[in-house]
Amino acid sequence: MDKHILVTNDDGVLAPGLMALAQEMRKLGKVSILAPDRNWSGGGHVKTLDRALRVKEVQLADGMIAHASDGAPSDCVALAALGYFKEPIDLVVSGINIGANLGHDVTYSGTVTAAMEAVIAGIPGIAVSLEIPEGHTGEIDFDSAARAAEHVVRHAFENGLSQEILLNVNVPFLRDEEIRGFRLTRQGLRVYHSRLDERIDPRGRPYYWIGGDAPTGVAERGTDIGALAEGYVSVTPLHLDLTAYRALSDLNTWPWDENVAIPFFELSVPDIKV
Ligand code: MN
């Protein structure tokens, strides 16, 4: 039976990266598109609880019918997982994002958090982002990123991707023949250069803008940042268990029960292998 693939993104339903991804995914199964009606880049993992969500049909530039919601990317995934489409979803693919999502970016990224929402719904998720060089202003060619996504998704279908895992795929800004291959990686260290800009509004009150230069990163081998720097597509498996396992035994040596009015229950360190 055909796989049912949900395609979403965080740049908005009309973004060219989504259409390129959807076209490539149609080679692998039945594609449904449900994506935000506006740009949610940097919007993080969202669950809209205090208002209704609206969905409307839109037509993409190639004639494909898509569904656009006024919620966040993760809301779009929740809508689909909870039955907006009548047929169950086998895989959520999010992207192709304009700009890489590396290291700590994953918690800010609407592209990646859409795939996180899939995992919460018990569906494997794959996020795909294309690195854009600093200062690039011209057209963006999504072809090699779309083909990289097809390669990863096909392997996920053939080999089975656990529903607890999402894959964070980042593609270097290179032509097909310049890409050196695929690397399995871990999250690298992103370096942010945020700067607070304080200004005064026309009524004399201060307002703030979090600005500064674009983030850079430490191009260490074995990491997502390192792979892109060397011209490889980076594939990082992620899960939502953020427990710092190595900190558990450290914390357990703290004298938790000294000088406390309320007695502490004994802390138990779970059985872990690090
Ligand atoms: Mn984006």
User: What is the 39 CA–ligand 1 centroid distance (Å)?
Assistant: 7
Q: What pLDDT does residue 78 have?
A: 98
Amino acid at 165: I
Integer Cα distance of 245 and 248 in angstroms: 5
> What is the percent of the chain where pLDDT is above 70?
95
pLDDT above 70 for 57? yes
Integer Cα distance of 183 and 233 in angstroms: 6
User: What is the 46 CA–ligand 1 centroid distance (Å)?
Assistant: 14
Q: What pLDDT does residue 13 have?
A: 98
Q: Is the dihedral of CA 144, 122, 7, 243 positive or negative?
A: negative
User: What is the 131 CA–ligand 1 centroid distance (Å)?
Assistant: 11
Tens of pLDDT, residues 104-162: 999 999 999 999 999 999 999 999 999 999 889 999 999 999 999 999 999 999 999 99
User: What is the 116 CA–ligand 1 centroid distance (Å)?
Assistant: 15
Tens of pLDDT, residues 207-219: 999 999 999 999 9
Question: Strand order in 55-59's β-sheet?
Answer: 55-59, 65-69, 29-36, 3-8, 91-98, 125-130, 166-171, 232-238, 181-184
User: What is the 183 CA–ligand 1 centroid distance (Å)?
Assistant: 23
Q: Report whether 28 contacts 5 (CB < 8 A).
A: yes
Residue with tokens 């598109």: 33
Q: What pLDDT does residue 264 have?
A: 57
> What is the percent of the chain where pLDDT is above 90?
87
Integer Cα distance of 234 and 153 in angstroms: 14
Whether a cis peptide bond, with omega within 30° of 0, leads into 96 is yes
| Nearest one of 62, 58, 61 to 38, comparing CA atoms | 58
Integer Cα distance of 263 and 269 in angstroms: 18
Integer Cα distance of 118 and 88 in angstroms: 12
Q: Which residue has the higher pLDDT, 251 or 240?
A: 240
User: What is the 261 CA–ligand 1 centroid distance (Å)?
Assistant: 49
The pair of three-digit structure tokens given for residue 28, joined into one six-digit string? 């692998």
Residue with tokens 């973004």: 15
pLDDT above 80 for 272? no
Q: pTM of the predicted model, to two decimals?
A: 0.93
User: What is the 99 CA–ligand 1 centroid distance (Å)?
Assistant: 7
User: What is the 7 CA–ligand 1 centroid distance (Å)?
Assistant: 14
Q: Which residue has the higher pLDDT, 54 or 268?
A: 54
Number of H helices, E strands in the chain: 7, 11
Tens of pLDDT, residues 242-265: 999 999 888 888 887 777 666 656
Q: What pLDDT does residue 274 have?
A: 52
Residue with tokens 């004399």: 204
pLDDT above 70 for 188? yes
User: What is the 250 CA–ligand 1 centroid distance (Å)?
Assistant: 38
Domain ranges of the chain: 3-189+219-242
User: What is the 125 CA–ligand 1 centroid distance (Å)?
Assistant: 16
User: What is the 101 CA–ligand 1 centroid distance (Å)?
Assistant: 9
Task: Identify the CATH homologous superfamily for domain 3-189+219-242.
Answer: Survival protein SurE-like phosphatase/nucleotidase (3.40.1210.10)
Q: Is the dihedral of CA 182, 147, 136, 67 positive or negative?
A: negative
Across 176-196, average pLDDT:
96
Q: What pLDDT does residue 5 have?
A: 98
User: What is the 268 CA–ligand 1 centroid distance (Å)?
Assistant: 41
| Nearest one of 99, 107, 91 to 7, comparing CA atoms | 91
Helix axes 73-81, 110-120, angle to 10 degrees: 30
pLDDT above 90 for 269? no
- The DSSP bridge pattern shows strands 125-130 and 166-171 to be parallel
Integer Cα distance of 86 and 89 in angstroms: 9
Distance of CA 234 to the CA centre of its chain: 13
User: What is the 41 CA–ligand 1 centroid distance (Å)?
Assistant: 4
User: What is the 219 CA–ligand 1 centroid distance (Å)?
Assistant: 22
Residues in the chain: 274
Output b/e per residue, 198-235; b: 16+ Cβ within 10 A: eeeeeeeeeeeeeeeeebebeeeeebbbbbbbeebbbb
Tens of pLDDT, residues 15-39: 999 999 999 999 999 999 999 999 9
Distance of CA 50 to the CA centre of its chain: 24
Q: Which helix (H) or strand (E) holds 168?
A: strand 166-171
User: What is the 97 CA–ligand 1 centroid distance (Å)?
Assistant: 5
User: What is the 104 CA–ligand 1 centroid distance (Å)?
Assistant: 15
The pair of three-digit structure tokens given for residue 236, joined into one six-digit string? 């990082």
Across 59-67, average pLDDT:
97
Q: Which residue has the higher pLDDT, 273 or 243?
A: 243
User: What is the 95 CA–ligand 1 centroid distance (Å)?
Assistant: 8
